[in-house]
Structure 1
Amino acid sequence: MNETVLDWLHKLLSADAPEHAVLKSVRFDLRGLFPWWVAVLIVVAAGAGTFFLYRREHGRLGLFRRGLMALLRTAAIGLLAFLLLRPTVVAEYLGQRPRGVDLLIDNSQSMTLRDRRVTPPDRMRVAIALNLVPPQTSLAEAVSLGSVPPATPTNPERAQLVRDVLANPRLHLAEDLRKPGTLRVFLFGQNVRGLNTDPSGEKTGDGLENLPVVFKADESRTALGDAVNNLLLRKEGDLPSAIVVMTDGRDNASKLPLDEAARQCARAGVPLFIYGVGSPVGGLLQVKDLAVTDTLFYGDTVAVPVRWRAQGIRQGRVAVALTLGGKEVARREVPVRDGENTEVLTFVPRKGASAEEKLNLGATVKLLDDPTFQDGLQRPVRLVDRRVKVLYIENAPRWEYKFLQTALLRDRRVEASFMLARGDTGVLHSGKPFLPTFPRRDQLFGYDLVILGDVPADYLGKQHQEWLRDFVKEGGGLVVIAGREHAPADYADTP
């Protein structure tokens, strides 16, 4: 069926065509409870009977009028039979729903680094990004630093380069990314965060207008491979037509390597494009990881492994330092070595004015001969000056109980209390560290950790189980040690 006829049928039917679809074919179907030939037989039989009855009627009506009346009744029966056949016009539309592009922008702290742009082609790349020269400028023409515009910065921040590239009117990157469909913008560090919705869940366009406010490059971890894979696994909508990643390539938190994520994109038929922000030739110092617990104690010696990497720096000395709340607490100078290195720095937190503080623990690496080569990483920590309160509930003094009791009582940072369901009454009433009964709700919430051993569920009762559930919801810790008699089987279908 040619396109002219299809257009005429589409206008005749006045059908609402799906978006991005055109009429492909039209067919007529009968979907009644009986076939069409049965309807024909019914109409023929009814028409014959009607004409016969009108023919036998004698009255003032003439032959013509009787024939006309019989014809009208036969037509009415035919129309009813036609409607019972449930005639249906089936229109088939063909089209392809547009799939938008997903733009993934690195929001980690490494994007605040400033790369040294030492070669003319590398400086020219920066000039193109900052709209100082046309995008068609050939890098081969940058044979010397004199061919680079004087206003080109020598060590621009990576995050600022991303902002400049997206805002460059001659690159019109944002406009081109919107052409296939709806553009969806995401920031990623440890997790992926979409910019297409506001905090209330309302759609706010593609999110690029919010980028100057929310793109701060302040996340401490980078899961590049996981971020790409998460876009493929999203349940909302179809797969994107392409994934564009703007990153410096640093990945220190992914469970899935980037090459495996790229293979997943290939299997799903989603092209993956990566815009590298860093410099391909300049030297680089990076802090890869900072291993520290969330809670530190005043007066304790804290050992912090700092994992860092040097690339393209042949000689010199590097200062590796730790800062707590902006004050340097440990420092070590070592010769620069190409590749990954680890330095373990130790310090003792000193008590301040308050018994508990929340500060940032930072690690920095700096080349002493050239301070432009430096990097840093921060972790939030909590400093406390109190003992960790632990409640250990056990059924009987089994081997695990004896071992943990000794270890907990020896630790000067732990204030332990013990309950035994089948313990000696005299021991349980002898005072600390033993408790004769389950603590009150307010006392329970004063503990930091509850260790639950092989205790019968009936011993705790439903109320105490609900208290423990609420205790965990409020941020308390719970460790369950399985046993041969009750835990964890007794606690199925309990709060």
Structure 2
Amino acid sequence: MNKFLGYILGIDTPSGASIVSIETVPMYLALFLSVLACVTLFIISIRLYRAEQIKLPTRIQTFALCSRFAAIFAFSMLFFQPISCNLKLKGTRPSPNLIILDDSLSMQSRDSRTQADDIARAESLVGKITLADPTLKIDAKYPSRLELAKAILADNPNGFLKALESKGPLKKYLFGNDLKRINEKETTNSFLDDWQGNQPRTLLADSIEKAIANTTEPPASLIIFTDGRDTNSTANLNEISKLAGEKNIPIFFVGFGLSQPASIELRDFVLPEIVQAGELLGVPVRWKLSKFDLDNNPAAKVELRLTLDGVEVAKDTIPAKPGEDIRHALMFRPPFTGLNKDNSEVKVFAKLTGIANASAEDSLTRPVKIIDRKIKILVIDKSPRWDLRFLLMNLTRETASSGGEGKPPRKALDPKFVILEGDPDLTSKDPFLQEIPTSRKDLFAFDVIILGDIPLEKLGPDGPERIRQFCEEGGGLIILGGKRYNNQGWNDSPLSNLLPIEPGPYDTVSLNEKRTTIFNPLLTKDGLVQEAMKLAETPEANFRTWKDLPGMYWHAPVSKLKPGATPLLVHPSVKTSTGPLPLLATQPYGRGQVAWFGFDEAWRWRYNDGDAIYGRFWSQWVYWAAGPRVGAIKQIRLSMDRPDPFLNTGGQIAVRVLDKNFLPERKETINAKIEWLDAPENTDAKTKSKDIELKKIPDKAGEYLLNLTHDKVGKFSFSIPGEQDARIEWRVFPQQDIEKGGLATSQLSESARLSKGQFVLENDADKILSDIPEKFYQITFNTEIPKLNPLLFLVLTIGLSLEWFFRRWNNLS
């Protein structure tokens, strides 16, 4: 079936198509009317010709009547449409070549080209851009991968794209989060305008899998412009490339960027602010390792080191495994001698070994306070309720630490308990005291007081004032809520100023009725960044841990939160006049710190595997409360919502400032500085270092907040000028797509080989043109001949024209 026949029938036929079968479906009424019309009009035509005055020769009259009948037949077929005709055709069509363009964020990366060959490659391409836009200026030493790719595809009559289109049909696609066809009919702009390089993920293998899965119009080849960074595919690139080779669909990769070594980046490590000398300490370290061919580098290892004030105290080597969030704990004991215990520094190093051209060693630093004495704790409560029982077990069973060379092991904590209604046989032995210390000397010998649910008068006439002075002079106080007394009567005592909340009305229901409604406390923003509230290593894991803890039934009644207090844990539904009802709140008092717990069911967390969580919670709060006494309290305290944010995400830095008397600072603003520590060499000074001004949080004396937008990748620091210890560092990580790595040369080369294609660098793109195949694929399809097809109009026109010719030739009207 040739093209002309297909055209006059009104159907699109593939090259060399043949008719396999014809199927007709008559419309009987229309067919009857059509036949009737044809017969009737033909009989009338015969009679009219016989009635003509001029008699035509029989042969000419027959030709004229046949011409009229042809016109009548064509008209009746067009008017009545009595038959539907379907054809089944078989033929071949040219297979399209697919050009697939990497639209992920990594294509915006600018590779710093220092080698002459790399600069020459870029210059050869940058020059091509001027053919399309002479005003465009690009630095050949620092071009983006996207700019170079567009240079190749610039609108040049003799360019790469025109040569590719000469190979057959060409379809254009973008890939990032998904494979997307570029429909140039829907836009008057160049398809390059749609290529922005703004997709946050790269699904290279998945996109190839989707492209070669097209069985209705199989591609002849895939031409892919990419840097080879695949971050989120579920398919394996080598396996998909091999499948493409089996389907005879070669893949031609044009690679952009510079080949860079496998790299390791430390994300974070967790370290308490205070540690005991001689105590075995685990430091969880998290890092990210860029993708590399693990099969070809079986000896690859990650070497972790930990130094304390420059002295290596821990080292470990583990097998390398590419991934986003890999963890390992380094164990060490802070020694007793030879250290700066007032201001020590822990530094963690990570290095990739056993692989050629690996990146340099990475490091992170944290300050730490090392103490070599036991923390003394005084716990006071009316009766041995559940929380007190488990607290006693937790504080007294702590694993002994090394006492130093030649010394016996010792405990890190030294707790004493006063239980007013305890069993005399029990409370007469250590670690119990018979009564609350009454002298200032005895009370001030402790670092932390945990004050339970007791009536005010049991503290003695001078007890409340001594506790107030204890906090004012640097002692830590933890107040535990309870159902029996619930801080009643404190408003008229010196303890009133210590409470971060105002107690609500006495809850008579608490003692007389069993509560059946369970609730799960909610962490506040301040709670998420408070070190003592961290039950896991990352903000997300910490949030999940708190969410999954067993719920509670009782909470202390609260009237409102006091100005200057910080809520860390709140009720999910109950409100006060100042917001959600606080369940755990803190406030500074003098040189000391006060924490108030409005619940007494933390012991429920010990169910199943929760004993470690319960122990960690109380250990952190004891060290928090003891901070001022052991010298860990700072006049300026900095905290960040997360130490490893991603690019283009928001964040916060909280600053708490105390004046020289350790009272909250009253200034409305403070000055600070942000520095980009690993900025590229050509970065201007204003971008590298920026002076900023922080404003005080309303109604919170001494507290300031900075809202950040992490708009650059790299290492950064925040500091308060003139304050040596007021500094924190963090690293902004790229979105999952952009990892610190360049062109995946070995991966793309192997994938091209498996698919029977080719891998070339950016400036050699023209070399693949000669290898791009021209293919055809078999196609079988059904098509309907249009009822108003050109053939019927042609018959109608020819029939009328011939009859008119015969009549005019013989002088008939």
- Pair in the same fold by TM > 0.5: no
TM-score normalised to the size of structure 1? 0.40
Q: Which has the higher contact order (CA 8 A, sep 6+)?
A: 2
TM-score normalised to the size of structure 2? 0.26
Higher gyration radius (CA): 2
